[in-house]
Structure 1
Amino acid sequence: MSRFFSPRSQLTAAAAIVEARLPRPSMTFYDPSSDHCSGSMHFMLLDRDKVLATDQTGRASVYHAGLHALRTAPTLTRPKHRPVSVAVGDSSLYVLDSTSRTPGGPKEEHCFEALVYERGRLYNDVFWEHDWCCHSLPTPPYRPSAIHAYTVFGGSDLWVSTEDEGTYSFDTARGAWANQGHWKLPFRGLAHYVPEYKLWFGLSRSNSKGRHNLFCAFDLATAAKRQSTPVPRNAWKDLWPPKEWMPDTSFLVHLGSARFCIARFFGNYRRDHPCQMDADAEHETLAVFTAVEVQPCGKTGKGLQMIKYKSECYNLGGGIDQWVL
């Protein structure tokens, strides 16, 4: 994404979305049930260069993008069906399955575990080298339901909000859950803490005017003290897509400091008459990556402003799954 932030990109940011092509694949993953697709796999970011790949059986591997190398990883304690993951520190990845069904059981319950990089230690009189290890963690106290928002708070606590209940926190140091209240985190997906501004940044939920997925800043520390829903301090619109594009999903990726990539996916039907939609129309998935940066306003430095850089559009064809890490 570094090329997106050139001075020339900022000057042309207000122009139309630029069509582009993704680079050639550097690695291809296949799940055990198919020789042609990876629809049953999930991908999670360990750090800036390492990606954890898991299949429907829980088996895992780690791909190092910088070295273009692949290594085995510990099998997860249970397969994940709809996992959310977040890194805490530089050696722990916490993985929570929001809708995991107990094998052979009639009810659903969450599956929560951590993938931790442990230093060399003695085990059964044998010295093990540094390696990743899986550890089962306490089951969340809320009823199984979809997790709509999550983030890291205070450097070591994992916060999650569900659709049906309030906000809960998990203290990674003590290994204990706590209820933060019936209020919900006001963003969708993962929000990122930026220490330069002591604020969290994420994509907003719907507000009273029906606007959602706006790039926003939040003060979660103050909201935690008041035990109330955080109110967005800023809300910026980064993209004006064509009307015929149907919004699908959006993701926010923190690139370091106060720079972000906003990835938005759209559905589009290729047809001669844009106002008509028929079963024979060819469906395609479009991905738009936009580079933005948050800076203080003006010479006084009071308030924040979003600086928009380049936006590139990639045609991904139709009927594919995608992960943004």
Structure 2
Amino acid sequence: MSTRRQFVNMLVSDSVKCMYTLRRFDLSRNQFFHPTAEAAKVLPTWSPNQNKMETHSVAAKEKKKLVRPPPALVNMKPSICLTNPEMEFKMHCYPLTETSLFTDSSARVFRFDADTRCFTTMPSLHTRKYSPLAISVPASPPTTAISYKNAGEGGCLYIIDGMLKAGKGVQFEAMVYRSCDNFLNRNIGNAWHCDALPLPPYVNSKAYKPAPICSYALVGGDTICISTMGVGTYCFNTVAREWYKAGDWMMPFNGKAEYDPELGLWFGVSATNFHLPCAADISGVVKGEEPPPKQTQIWTDIDVPKGWHPRPSHPTQVVSLGSGRFCITEFFHTLAYASPFDPPLPDETFAVFTGVEVVLPPDGNGKAKCATMMKHKSVTCRTHVANVIKSVV
């Protein structure tokens, strides 16, 4: 049985104050789910020949009730660093269970324990990451020297740049909690280490042209799989620390896909439509098996106010809450016309947080085409320049 999460974390950017805040939906106070599944609504499946805009605009619904975003738990500012040639001072949030790690655009790292509200300094990354992606890997067998002595410290966090380039320094690293020796070679306990890791072999190929990593996931508990446009899918075994090619095909997700052990499926956002949740069985990727396209299921939601449109630059985000439950965050805007002769411009912007529950047939069939997604409750927040949601983790 998987453990249900108690919080949904958000990293919010305030460009007016040049500040970032960590905000949390407390799921015990913000009820995203009905007491029973009978009160939920079955979401229809989506096929690629449908038009998402038309699907949403035909539903003439009343405007959703707005609530304020959760209060800031902590405020942060990225420091100015002269080694950052782009002069872009950003912060990134990486999930390590429900405790998060943060980095700035100059490779500095710190850990924030939201329960104790305590900051811990961490080893810096070897090289700053331009568009970092991260996957948390649970603690491995004792051979990796990872310890559970300190609660919440088990496991590793793997960070890779979203677009790999040859000769650009260390672009793949791991934050690992393991034993630490002093200058007398005596074990003085456990500490965090930052390990440089090898890049997939295609990066150094003469035929390779830098392309973004389109999707990534942890498969089998110890293998990180990435799909790169024009390259295919590669796997990194975290125990052997070696790469190998799975195939020339792509995984059916956009961005990160999360595994739900009770359902035996991976969930994320569809690669064919960045605004729709998707489920697929990608367990065979580590053996070089392409996920069958017919077994990939995509869902849509027509319960959206008329005139609301998905924001093209803000893909939907899916966060697993455990036990077959997920929080889906969608971003919308309305359009305003300055004059009858000018194209419409974005007006109001909204973020909608929805609790969904995925169930399988009584026979336990784990194929994605048999899964049913039940929509429970939604919370809608207005967003603007002073509270832009950068990530939901």
TM-score interval for Structure 1 and Structure 2 normalised by the shorter chain? 0.7 to 0.9
Aligned to 1:166: 232
Q: What is the DSSP-based 3-state SS (H/G/I as helix, E as strand, rest coil) of the residue aligned with 2:133?
A: strand
Task: Give the drift of 1:168.
Answer: 0.3
Output the amino acid matched with 1:62.
R
Aligned length: 309
Q: 1:282 to 1:225 in 2, by over 3 A?
A: closer
Task: Give the drift of 1:257.
Answer: 1.7
Aligned to 2:351: 287
Are 1:27 and 2:86 matched, yes or no? no
Query: What's the CA shift string for 1:194-240, capped at 9, x where partnerless?
Result: 2222221222111xxxx554322212124655632432443222454
Distance 1:23 1:57 in 2: 28
TM-score by length of 1: 0.83
TM-score by length of 2: 0.70
Q: Which runs of 5+ in 1 are unaligned?
A: none
Which of 77, 80, 91 is 2:155 aligned to?
A: 91
Aligned to 1:129: 189
Aligned to 1:219: 281
Q: 1:100 to 1:305 in 2, by over 3 A?
A: closer
Q: 1:311 to 1:272 in 2, by over 3 A?
A: farther
Aligned to 1:262: 328
Moved more, 13-22 or 190-199: 13-22
Q: Do the aligned partners of 1:271 and 1:282 also contact (CA within 8 Å) in 2?
A: no
Identity of aligned pairs, percent? 31
Which of 308, 312, 315 is 2:379 aligned to?
A: 312
Query: What's the CA shift string for 1:42-79, capped at 9, x where partnerless?
Result: 1111121x211111221111111111221211111111
Which of 195, 198, 211 is 1:138 aligned to?
A: 198
Task: Give the drift of 1:110.
Answer: 6.4
RMSD between superposed Cα atoms in Å: 3.0
Task: Give the drift of 1:21.
Answer: 1.2
Query: What's the CA shift string for 1:109-135, capped at 9, x where partnerless?
Result: 76000001114x323115433221100
Aligned to 2:146: none
Q: What is the DSSP-based 3-state SS (H/G/I as helix, E as strand, rest coil) of the residue aligned with 2:90?
A: coil
Aligned to 1:5: 33
Are 1:323 and 2:382 matched, yes or no? no
Q: Which runs of 5+ in 2 are unaligned?
A: 1-26, 43-60, 82-87, 139-153, 204-209
Distance 2:253 2:73 in 1: 33
Are 1:52 and 2:101 matched, yes or no? yes
Distance 2:279 2:193 in 1: 35
Aligned to 2:297: 234
Distance 1:251 1:307 in 2: 17
Q: What is the DSSP-based 3-state SS (H/G/I as helix, E as strand, rest coil) of the residue aligned with 2:315?
A: strand
Are 1:63 and 2:112 matched, yes or no? yes
